[in-house]
């Protein structure tokens, strides 16, 4: 039976680190501040943004909460980003995605000053990540690495298989894992990979980030592999108050029988994302002094 990785506790440690670095900055007269921009009222986005704002305040940081109507124009949003870029009291800018369909996300992300790009989605941040240079690393992939590190799961020489190649999870994660200091051998799978199990069965570290509930079954996992489940999927559940429950990309009960480590959903990777965001905001503020 696998060791269940307690993402909540590990995230708690990272949040404490963010809070203590914040306290040190405050002594120098700087309060780390993240501007959180939300356009529209998508319920999932509202709940993510609310959770981020709460975590910032708990760590002693400032959250500048900017809510815009879904009909906001692209030009208005770009003007707002530019004004936040110029505002020296704002250290990080987070524009919650997805944006309403009439707004080009690429344009908005590229408008953010890379020094304030705490989500790590700006092309400059992406380039730095690929080149192995310092810069902001997207929070979820960075959270996955922190879990591996905290659990002392060896990465050097390990074969890591990442299922998913999105710009926010799979792709940056693969680029991180292949860095010299991490030294994994990386395979990236996607919908064009054909027999997914052929690849996943070779993984010492299997990272599922496909957004498909229960995609990874026990027969697709090597005995003793570490399984990191990034997927957060709502599946109907009439016994649950909200009518759904959260399920990961791995079939938890059967995969846990075979793996050496596994992250639960919820309570695994999810809490790490916000914790790593807090650390990115503190870093942005530290870089500004
Ligand atoms: P996404 O943009 O939809 O990307 C999914 C990726 O998985 C794509 O590259 C897709 O391949 C691949 N894929 C989908 N079905 C597949 C299959 N059957 N076999 C192989 N590859 C498959 O999703 P995302 O934004 O990366 O998110 C992935 C999951 O992580 C979601 O459940 C999301 O909710 C969750 N997530 C969690 C956190 C967290 O904090 N825990 C943060 C972000 C995301 P193609 O490229 O070929 O389409």
| CATH code of the domain in which 252 resides | 3.40.50.720
Would residue 157 count as lying in a domain? Answer: yes
Whether residues 41 and 131 share a domain: the answer is: yes
Q: pLDDT (tens digit, 9 = 90+) per residue, 252-281?
A: 999 999 999 999 999 999 999 999 999 999
Would residue 5 count as lying in a domain? Answer: no
Whether residues 152 and 72 share a domain: the answer is: no
Nearest CA to ligand 1 atom 42: 140
Residue 233 CA, closest ligand 1 atom number:
32
Residue 193 CA, closest ligand 1 atom number:
20
Whether residues 52 and 108 share a domain: the answer is: yes
Is 202 annotated in the active site? Answer: no
Q: How many domains does the chain have?
A: 2
Structure confidence at residue 127 (pLDDT)? 98
Is 96 annotated in the active site? Answer: yes
| CATH code of the domain in which 62 resides | 3.40.50.10860
Q: How far is CA 62 from CA 45, 47, 54, in A?
A: 20, 18, 10
Would residue 259 count as lying in a domain? Answer: yes
Is 119 annotated in the active site? Answer: yes
The residue among 77, 110, 136 that closes a domain is 136
Whether residues 236 and 193 share a domain: the answer is: yes
Domain containing residue 243: 139-271
Would residue 245 count as lying in a domain? Answer: yes
Whether residues 263 and 154 share a domain: the answer is: yes
The residue among 106, 136, 166 that closes a domain is 136
Would residue 48 count as lying in a domain? Answer: yes
Structure confidence at residue 275 (pLDDT)? 98
Active-site residue, selected from the candidate residues 14, 96, 116, 229 = 96
Q: Which residues of the chain have pLDDT under 70?
A: none
Would residue 229 count as lying in a domain? Answer: yes
Whether residues 110 and 191 share a domain: the answer is: no
Structure confidence at residue 74 (pLDDT)? 98
Structure confidence at residue 2 (pLDDT)? 98
Nearest CA to ligand 1 atom 5: 210
Structure tokens at 262: 């596994």
Q: pLDDT (tens digit, 9 = 90+) per residue, 246-256?
A: 999 999 999 99
Would residue 14 count as lying in a domain? Answer: no
* pTM of the full structure: 0.97
Would residue 84 count as lying in a domain? Answer: yes
The residue among 136, 152, 167 that closes a domain is 136
Q: How far is the centre of ligand 1, averaged over its atoms, from the C-alpha of 204 (Å)?
A: 20
To which residue do tokens 């051998």 refer?
Answer: 185
């Amino acid at each position: 039976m696998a060791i269940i990785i307690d993402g909540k506790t590990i995230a708690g440690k990272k949040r404490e680190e963010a809070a203590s670095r914040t306290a040190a900055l405050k002594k120098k007269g700087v309060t780390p501040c993240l501007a959180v921009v939300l356009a529209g009222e998508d319920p999932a986005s509202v709940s993510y943004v609310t959770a981020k704002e709460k975590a910032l305040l708990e760590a002693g940081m400032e959250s500048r909460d900017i809510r815009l109507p879904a009909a906001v124009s692209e030009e208005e949003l770009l003007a707002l980003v530019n004004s936040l870029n110029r505002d020296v009291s704002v250290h990080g800018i987070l524009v919650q995605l997805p944006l309403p369909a009439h707004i080009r996300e690429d344009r908005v992300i590229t408008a953010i000053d890379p020094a304030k790009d705490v989500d790590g989605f700006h092309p400059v941040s992406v380039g730095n990540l690929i080149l192995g240079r310092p810069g902001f690393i997207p929070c979820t992939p960075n959270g996955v690495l922190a879990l591996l590190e905290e659990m002392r799961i060896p990465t050097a020489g390990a074969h890591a298989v990442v299922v998913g190649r999105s710009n926010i999870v799979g792709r940056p994660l693969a680029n991180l894992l292949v860095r010299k200091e991490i030294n994994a051998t990386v395979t990236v799978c996607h919908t064009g990979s054909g027999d997914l199990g052929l690849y996943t069965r070779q993984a010492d570290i299997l990272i599922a980030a496909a957004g498909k509930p229960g995609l990874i079954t026990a027969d697709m996992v090597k005995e003793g592999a570490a399984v990191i489940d990034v997927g957060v999927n709502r599946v109907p559940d009439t016994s649950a108050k909200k009518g759904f429950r959260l399920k990961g990309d791995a079939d938890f009960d059967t995969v846990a029988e075979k793996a050496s480590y596994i992250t639960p959903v919820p309570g695994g990777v999810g809490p790490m994302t916000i914790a790593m965001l807090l650390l990115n905001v503190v870093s942005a503020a530290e870089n500004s002094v």
